[in-house]
Amino acid sequence: MHETFTAWAIDSRSDDGHGLVGRYWPFYVRDIFIPLHMEGCKFALFTTRKLARKFLPNVRGAFPRASVVKVSVEIKEAMNG
């Protein structure tokens, strides 16, 4: 299996290396619940640029230089053995 898809994230552009911000970043609440089936993902991406841009102002409160970025995700099946 080999699959590639495009999604959107918010790049914090942090000097401290905080990296990308996705759907489960605590935009409005301190404690965030990530469903058990999503724990294997480093972050959950936005499906559209419009949705990522909607949350950008909230991220800029903590990361003033943040910007929306297009990302490409590649999923490959691991080879056994």
pLDDT in tens, 47-74: 999 999 998 998 888 889 999 999 998 8
Question: How many independent structural domains does the chain possess?
Answer: 1
Query: What is the structure's pLDDT at 51?
Result: 93
Domain assignment present for residue 81? The answer is no
9 domain residue, yes or no: yes
The reply to whether the predicted model has a pTM over 0.75 is no
Q: Quick check: is 49 in a domain?
A: yes
Residue 59 to residue 21: CA distance in whole angstroms = 8
Q: What is the pLDDT of residue 72?
A: 92
Answer whether residue 26 is part of any domain. Answer: yes
**Assigned domain for 70 exists:** yes
Q: Please give the residue range of the domain that contains residue 71.
A: 2-76
